[in-house]
Amino acid sequence: MSNVNLDPSLPADSGSPQEETSFADILSTFEKQHTDAPTGGQTLNGTIVSIRPDVILIDIGRKIEGSLTVAKWHDTQDGEPTVGAQIAVTAGPRNEEGFYELSTLKVERPKDWSSLQTAYAEKQIIAGTVTEQVKGGFRVEIGVRAFLPASRSGVREVDEMPKLVGQEIQCRITKLDVDKEDVVVDRRSILEEEESRRRQQAFSDLSEGAVVHGRVRTVMDFGAFLDLGGVDGLLHIGEMSHTRISKASEFVKPGDELEVKIIKIDSATRKISLSLKQLQEDPWAVAVRTYNTGDRITGTVSRLTDFGAFVELMPGVDGLIHLSELSWDKRVRKAGDLLKVGERVEVVILQVNGADRRISLGYKQALDDPWEAVPLHFPVGSTAEGSITNLTPFGAFVMLSDGIEGMIHISDITNEKRIDHPKDKLAKGQAVKAVVLEIDNERRRLRLGLKQLEPTTVDHYISEHHPGETVSGRLLEVQGSRARVELGEGVIATCQLKGAGEQALTPKVVVEKSSDVSSLSAMLAARWKQGGESAVQGKPAARAGEVRSFRISNLDPAKKLIELELAS
């Protein structure tokens, strides 16, 4: 064989002096050497040593056996494989299991110059042997020396390139220049075509709804790509689990073996969508069976929002605590004021809506309701103390205790005069004492009054007089043995008369407004003499409108009562 350097990457003087022979002479010698050569060198003769469900192991006369997929066997062979059977194969690179990948394609070696030209023109696949690794690629023996560029060798890793030396490969002639004695071959396109056939076959074997085995090849933030046996499928992060996942790497890693369901196949784009969570029971179906309104359960705060807090009750099932359900006594503006993410909380199920996949929760319902004790601690008529929390145009709000709030309407603030705004008399934070006027169960509020604790004209009158004292008053109304007596502005007493009205029993005070204090005083003074004369002369019983003398028989400040009797 001539030492003609057909590798353009090698220097001309890298070996012995180049012989001055033409490429035609080399081909002529090649033809003579191979005209009568046996054809056994075109392929490797192998013997089947083992048959697995998907792979056939074949002894090809090397230290390592070769593997041929059962699918490839049926593509090119008739009948079923049997141990001990002979078969002609072509060896490729070693696969992940360490076996040589075999092919049953019948690959010829060019026998003469014309067959070499035909192989180049028709882009035929031919057999070759990698003899050595050189700068930029490999030397391949195809009857003459040819150059195989590293980029077209099909070997992706630099460390794997030395393993290609000595292997029988399939290739195509991509350049045949007789004048320049240059032959270049390509192996990568053949491997890609083979891979494409495998992918097409694998793609054709898949169907929507099928459950398949896959190996995680690549993990991205949005999901993971799985090798389904020659074709890739995407397991999106949203289809990994019923639970919330922020990144796919939190759930899977390269090399993981998974059973997944094919949920969509796009024949146009050859994209396959996978799901893992669809092979698991929907947790919402479990939740609907498990939870009932009124149940008290424990969960973990998973998320805070402007309108409330989400609590994980079980993987894949969150319930919502609305802001209004967080506290009995506080106006909560944001859930973060009371709760934090990751906190374990006890809640009460308020509603389960399986159709909309919603569960309403109550946080305050798991705590004691302070309103239940209001009638006991703040009965109507009692006096309560608290501080002003808010002022509005219509009244003031008072916090009496945790969870208990009362309201003083503007009309119940003072007796002195009409005010335009509660701030005219009160201030936020001010401590006040008020009377409980009403319990409002619906609004969970107490109606309070301040003016009810202010001293009245009756209080002043009682404080300025004493039992046994003689006073003057006007009879407002006489009905049988009872009479109502006006003692002053806003001070009204009632009296029970005897016979002709010479004596009064248990008068009772009623607070009313007198129209004119000065006129009352003048009238009392004008009629005092007439009243006195009637008593002396024994005139008929008292009549409405008369001014008479009365003696105070009893004063009760607590009940605001004044008891009178007619003076003798």
Q: Which domain holds residue 342?
A: 288-366
- Regarding whether 66 and 83 lie in a shared domain, the answer is yes
Mean of the pLDDT values across residues 286-300?
91
273 contact partners, CB below 8 Å, separation of at least 6: 233, 234, 236, 239, 262, 263, 264, 265, 266
Distance CA 89, CA 82 (A): 15
In terms of pLDDT, which residue wins out, 29 or 346?
346
Q: From start to end of 441-522, where are the E strands?
A: 445-449, 470-479, 482-488, 491-497, 504-505, 509-510
Distance CA 562, CA 556 (A): 6
Mean of the pLDDT values across residues 108-125?
77
Task: Count structural domains, the chain.
Answer: 5
418 contact partners, CB below 8 Å, separation of at least 6: none
- Regarding whether 338 and 295 lie in a shared domain, the answer is yes
Q: What is the pLDDT of residue 97?
A: 82
Query: Cα–Cα distances in Å, from 349 out to 291, 315, 332, 361, 548?
Result: 7, 17, 20, 5, 73
Question: For 422-426, which contacts have Cβ atoms below 8 Å and span 24 or more sequence positions?
Answer: 422/391, 422/392, 422/393, 422/395, 422/396, 423/391, 426/388, 426/391, 426/396
Last residue of a domain, one of 222, 246, 279: 279
In terms of pLDDT, which residue wins out, 87 or 158?
158
pLDDT per position as a tens digit, 234-282? 999 989 988 878 888 888 999 999 999 999 998 888 899 999 988 888 8
- Regarding whether 354 and 377 lie in a shared domain, the answer is no
- Regarding whether 468 and 447 lie in a shared domain, the answer is no
Does 65 map to a domain? yes
pLDDT band at 45 (very low <50, low <70, confident <90, very high): low
Q: Which of the residue ranges 64-68, 120-124, 222-226, 479-483 would you say has the lowest mean pLDDT?
A: 479-483
Strand duo 504-505 + 509-510: pairing: unpaired
Q: What is the pLDDT of residue 523?
A: 53
Last residue of a domain, one of 279, 305, 327: 279
CATH of the domain at 124: 2.40.50.140
Question: Would you list the DSSP string of 11-72?
Answer: -TTSSSPPP---HHHHHHHHHHHHSS--GGGGSEEEEEEEE-SSEEEEE-SSSS-EEEEHHH
Q: What is the pLDDT of residue 549?
A: 85
Does 260 map to a domain? yes
Query: Is residue 331's pLDDT more than 80?
Result: no
Q: Which residues pair with 383 in a beta bridge?
A: 435
Most confident of 200-204, 330-334, 343-347, 527-531: 343-347
- Regarding whether 335 and 257 lie in a shared domain, the answer is no
- Regarding whether 267 and 314 lie in a shared domain, the answer is no
- Regarding whether 111 and 242 lie in a shared domain, the answer is no
Query: Is residue 509's pLDDT more than 50?
Result: no
- Regarding whether 361 and 333 lie in a shared domain, the answer is yes
Does 408 map to a domain? yes
Does 196 map to a domain? no
- Regarding whether 132 and 74 lie in a shared domain, the answer is yes
In terms of pLDDT, which residue wins out, 332 or 76?
332
- Regarding whether 87 and 160 lie in a shared domain, the answer is yes
pLDDT per position as a tens digit, 416-446? 778 889 898 899 999 989 889 988 877 777 8
Does 6 map to a domain? no
In the DSSP assignment, the letter for residue 108 is: B
